[in-house]
Amino acid sequence: MARVIVHVDLDAFYAAVEQVRLGLPLDQPLAVQQWEGLIAVNYAARAKGVTRFMAIAEAKQKCPDLRLVHVEVIGGSSKREEGKVSLERYRQASANILPIFHRFSPLCEKASIDEAYLDLTAQVEALLNQSPEPETAPVYDNPETASASEKSEPISMASVQSRSDVIVLDGPLDPSNEYDRRLLAGATIVAQMREAVFHELGYTCSAGIAPNKLLAKLASAMNKPYKQTVVTPRAIPGLMKDFPMRKIRNLGGKMGKELCDTLGCETAGDVQKIPEAVLIEKLGDKMGPWVFRAVRGIHDEPVQTRQISKSMLAAKSYSLTNSIEDVRHWLRLLSMELAARIEYDVKLNKRRPKTFHLYYRGFDSRRRIQEHSKSCPVPPHILQLILQIHAGKTPKSPAKSQGGDLPPAPGPPQLPSVTSPHFPSERAASGGEVGASGRDPRNGEEAPFSRKDSGGTVPGVAVGGGGGDVSAGGRMGGPGTSLLAERGSEPPNGRRNADPTAELSNGTAAEAPLLQSNAGPAYQLEREESAWRSITGHIRRGPCRGSDADGRSDQDALPRPFASGQAERESLLRRDSSGQLKRPFLAHPGVDGQLEREGLAGPEAGAALEYHLPESSGQLERKLPETEWADGGQSIADGIGAALASGEHAGPLAEALYSFGLSIFEKAEHNMPSTRVAVAAGDFVDLPVKGAHSITSFFQAGEVRGVAGSGGADGDNGKGGERINEREKERVTRLSGGKQKSHGIARFFGQKGFATGHVAAQSGAGRAHGPPQGSAVETGERARGNELLGLEKSQPESPDVHVGAVRKTRAANRIVEGLEGNGTEKKVRDRVASDQVAQLMGNRSLEPEQEGKEVDRNLDKAGSDKTACGEQAEPRTSNSAVSADAPEMLTGLQSSVFGKLSANVADRLEHDRRKSDAGALCPELSAVDVRQQQRLMADFERQKRFAALVKKRESEAGGRGGASHGKKGGQKRKERSQEGAEGQQRISSFLKH
């Protein structure tokens, strides 16, 4: 059954958000600025020639009345050196749009901050099956909010085609044709939906309506702004023929370049001329078939149901520094932001992250840019904080809600002191100076997260010696928030500030029994604990008191979060009288284990908790506060100052995050120069809610597998279920803004079999659809290449070695990557950095990397501009043993020809194709003619020979720079001109087949 798929993309999204927020007319040229660059330009400004990434000056010159709006900056200053950008405003705006889409189809996948895919197949079907066939599509007004001005008039199916904002490729649609009728119905629904978005929120959007995601996406970009484009099956061949291959999703990067370079294809039509067998041979048995089909407009990827993100990250890049104070400053700000976002998410989505990540960009021992990430399970003391927040024990933000009995709505994250450089008034409103209260002065007279009046130390957080360790216990405080103190049954905390080393040994000793325990309700929990201990154990290794190896004394010691984490662990490991392990941080040992088991985060779990869990009923039955905000009533900037003023939102969560990040960074990097840090949270799982089931399974991840007729109870992975559960209803209620009777989703949920399928497991599962990515094959082959060439074997980095010491293969990769980057700007920057870094790193001369033959390749190669791009095929080793013949096993995507055959994948792709049965209604999408393939193959052979001849001539004529290198030249590859050589290499190896 051919589907009706829609891709919706907001027009000039950030610009539109600002336009609405500031109440500016649509014809006012406006651009959104992030530091020195423009990241969104509205259509009025585009008409004047202003483009994204254009320099401010140039934009102003082209369009003098251009209104520039800078994105929010948090951190108490609008200066780049002190503040960081926050995209929260656009996240919130995006979150306001999704519910509208959702009204039109619950099969709604958020694809980016301003894009979504919808599967309208079922809606269309339902519409067309009514008798008599209705003349209009459902309006799906928001039943609660739709005021007269917001109400949309029903659009009749008969009239859509004549609208100026509806474009039908190879139209008009023919109502006597089955699939055309579907498209017509789909187009009508979409027209209605776009109007709803505009009426309710003031944003315009464009859409593509097509049989699959690939084509829908392609179509949505064809006519903008505020237009929609319908792809009829008959238009597909013509559409793809001249369509730039690299604009197909997933082919915009290295893969596409490789395809382009290797096979000389510019358009999808070019690629169509290549037989599938050749594509498979060249690209592997995953990518080959995928590309083969994609260039024909064939694409089976299902629309997923994800509407909320699966991870959150806060990042800051800054100019080179090796001052730990600088890093602390950023880490602190980032932690505050992330904590605020997590807290918001806990309240709104009732889920929690299981993993924290720290990212940073530094340099390796050879001064090459080097990015690192470290992650760890969310530590128990943070889990505890989250559970407390979830249980409503943390004081809420200043109560604005007059909602009577209802608890206050979760507001958007209160970020640390927001300013907007271009709107001083806002800045004042945000209470910029308040930001200073929590500010980490670089001169160190005040510790991060500290307060002068801080009376005590929050157990479990930031304990250490000396001046840097004053933690924010007092200020976290607010009545009832001192987490552990609040719990009367809490073990005595006499040991909490004990000597870290002693704790370490204690902890280690006590660990053994726990590690031996096995299955049981608490098994998962123990695994988490155990993982956490191993992390902290490793963190704790090394100097931590007195004067350490770096000569740092206790005086300037940084907070030692993990030391206190150790204290926590110590208490965790206590046993009760019966010798059972005691876990004070969870009321019920089984609860968390149940949470972890998919689908079981239900009533049982909730009931088992000793603290009061939020009831699911009615909790969220209210409009999102952001809707007001979008009306201009409440902006994130308003009320921001409260965060730092009250200390509330810089709270324990932020502090714990900060401590985590800092300690890892510190341990890993000492005073290594860096240019970027980021903190992130991921692996979200449900928090227990009475009477509710998983939210993550429905809205965070996964495709809905059994869309039609899957009413059966095939809960093989335990997620979701065959019935809509309480949490789901709640979510739907919230998304739809309150009542939802016969409208929208509720109606379809009422239909048997629809949208009730279970959700596929995501974690650890292979990518079920879409193309594989090249990296792994590449990496694997490189490893193999190393082995074959007798190079040093790749070693996993031991966790606490200096992170600069990386595996040779990785390090070698970076060389190329650093140069490939985003273009010349980055290259130059790298090179500059390299000089400065040399200074910061002591200016010692570089050790020869291997056999004394290396030079600093950042410098070495920066000159050879163009060649740097697409350097995938260049072997990443300086080892002279690498001959010109060997490299295939080291060469990027091309190396995937060595990849193992995977019958599995082939089978699955075939299965998908059959299952989709696209040909039934769209012959254009049916399987490919075998005869034609044979003809193509023959043609291709001829072309190959011809191309070989041409190339031979060319190389004999002397390709520039590479003239002397023959295939067996035995020359050192790194010394050749890559461009000429690369081309040769690729083509010749290609032609061998």
Ligand X SMILES: Nc1ncnc2c1ncn2[C@H]1C[C@H](O)[C@@H](COP(=O)(O)OP(=O)(O)OP(=O)(O)O)O1
Active-site residues: which are they? 115
Closest approach of ligand X to the CB of residue 712, in Å? 39
Q: Interaction with ligand X in 688-717: which residues (CB under 6 A)? A: none
Angle at 778 between CA 776 and CA 784, to 5 degrees: 105
Contacts of 36 (CB under 8 A, 6+ apart): 55, 56
- Report how many residues bind ligand X under the rule CB under 6 A: 12
Can residue 14 be called a binding residue for ligand X (CB under 6 A)?
Answer: yes
Interface with ligand X (CB under 6 A), residue from 5, 30, 39, 219? 39
Interface with DNA (CB under 7 A), residue from 182, 293, 306, 913? 306
Q: Interaction with Mn ion in 353-392: which residues (CB under 5 A)? A: none
CA-CA distance, 32 to 42, in Å (whole number)?
9
Q: Which of the ranges 6-14, 417-425, 677-685, 847-855 carries the binding residues for ligand X, by CB under 6 A?
A: 6-14
How many other CB atoms are there within 10 angstroms of residue 59's CB atom?
25
Interface with ligand X (CB under 6 A), residue from 5, 12, 336, 605? 12
Can residue 317 be called a binding residue for DNA (CB under 7 A)?
Answer: yes
Q: Interaction with Mn ion in 112-131: which residues (CB under 5 A)? A: 114
Q: Interaction with DNA in 101-160: which residues (CB under 7 A)? A: 111-115
Closest CA to 438 of 80, 76, 73: 76
Q: Tell me the per-residue interface mask from 352 to 371 with DNA, x by CB under 7 A, - otherwise.
A: ---x---------------x
Can residue 9 be called a binding residue for Mn ion (CB under 5 A)?
Answer: yes
Interface with Mn ion (CB under 5 A), residue from 3, 5, 8, 13? 13
Angle at 848 between CA 847 and CA 854, to 5 degrees: 135
Nearest residue (CB) to DNA, 817 versus 856: 817
Can residue 320 be called a binding residue for DNA (CB under 7 A)?
Answer: no
Bridge-partner residues for 31, per DSSP? 41, 68
Can residue 224 be called a binding residue for ligand X (CB under 6 A)?
Answer: yes
Spatial contact of 369 and 123, defined as CB atoms under 8 Å apart: no
CA-CA distance, 5 to 628, in Å (whole number)?
31
Q: Which of the ranges 198-206, 483-491, 647-655, 791-799 carries the binding residues for DNA, by CB under 7 A?
A: 791-799
Q: Which of the ranges 10-18, 379-387, 866-874, 899-907 carries the binding residues for ligand X, by CB under 6 A?
A: 10-18
Can residue 570 be called a binding residue for Mn ion (CB under 5 A)?
Answer: no
Q: How many Cα atoms occupy the beta-carbon half-sphere of 737 within 13 Å?
A: 23
Tokens of 805: 């010491």
Interface with DNA (CB under 7 A), residue from 163, 273, 310, 729? 310
Q: How many Cα atoms occupy the beta-carbon half-sphere of 281 within 13 Å?
A: 13
Can residue 40 be called a binding residue for ligand X (CB under 6 A)?
Answer: yes
Tokens of 529: 């604990």
Q: Tell me the per-residue interface mask from 75 to 114 with Mn ion, x by CB under 5 A, - otherwise.
A: ---------------------------------------x
Which helix (H) or strand (E) segment is 213 a member of? helix 213-220
Closest approach of Mn ion to the CB of residue 40, in Å? 8
Closest approach of DNA to the CB of residue 813, in Å? 4
**DSSP string spanning 586-600?**
SSSHHHHHHHHSTT-
Bridge-partner residues for 376, per DSSP? 356
**DSSP string spanning 955-984?**
HHTT-TTTTT--TT----GGGS-HHHHHHH
Q: Give the three-state DSSP class for 912.
A: helix
Q: Which of the ranges 382-390, 674-682, 733-741, 964-972 carries the binding residues for DNA, by CB under 7 A?
A: 674-682
Residue 367, contacted partner among ligand X, DNA, Mn ion, none, CB below 5-8 A by kind: none
**DSSP string spanning 814-847?**
HHHHHHHSSSHHHHHHHHHHHHHHHHHTT-PPPP
Residue 55, contacted partner among DNA, ligand X, Mn ion, none, CB below 5-8 A by kind: none
Residue 972, contacted partner among DNA, Mn ion, ligand X, none, CB below 5-8 A by kind: none
Tokens of 768: 């079920």
Tokens of 407: 């608890």
Can residue 113 be called a binding residue for ligand X (CB under 6 A)?
Answer: yes
Helix/strand/coil percent split, the chain, to 5: 45, 10, 45
CA-CA distance, 163 to 175, in Å (whole number)?
17
Tokens of 877: 């080793």
Nearest residue (CB) to ligand X, 9 versus 849: 9
Q: Give the three-state DSSP class for 526.
A: helix
Interface with ligand X (CB under 6 A), residue from 18, 72, 82, 114? 114
Q: Supply the angle between the helices 808-820 and 775-788 in degrees, to the nearest 10.
A: 130
Tokens of 423: 């709107």
Closest approach of Mn ion to the CB of residue 52, in Å? 11
Residue 40, contacted partner among ligand X, Mn ion, DNA, none, CB below 5-8 A by kind: ligand X
Can residue 762 be called a binding residue for DNA (CB under 7 A)?
Answer: yes
Closest approach of DNA to the CB of residue 701, in Å? 6
Report the Cα–Cα distance between both ends of the chain, in Å, rounded. 39
Can residue 805 be called a binding residue for DNA (CB under 7 A)?
Answer: no
Spatial contact of 366 and 811, defined as CB atoms under 8 Å apart: yes
Q: How many residues does the chain have?
A: 993
- Report how many residues bind DNA under the rule CB under 7 A: 73
Closest approach of ligand X to the CB of residue 171, in Å? 23
Q: Which of the ranges 8-16, 59-67, 236-244, 417-425 carries the binding residues for ligand X, by CB under 6 A?
A: 8-16
Bridge-partner residues for 357, per DSSP? 375, 680
Q: Interaction with DNA in 520-579: which residues (CB under 7 A)? A: 531, 535
Binding site for Mn ion (CB under 5 A): 9-10, 13, 114
Contact footprint for ligand X (CB under 6 A) = 9-14, 39-40, 113-114, 224-225
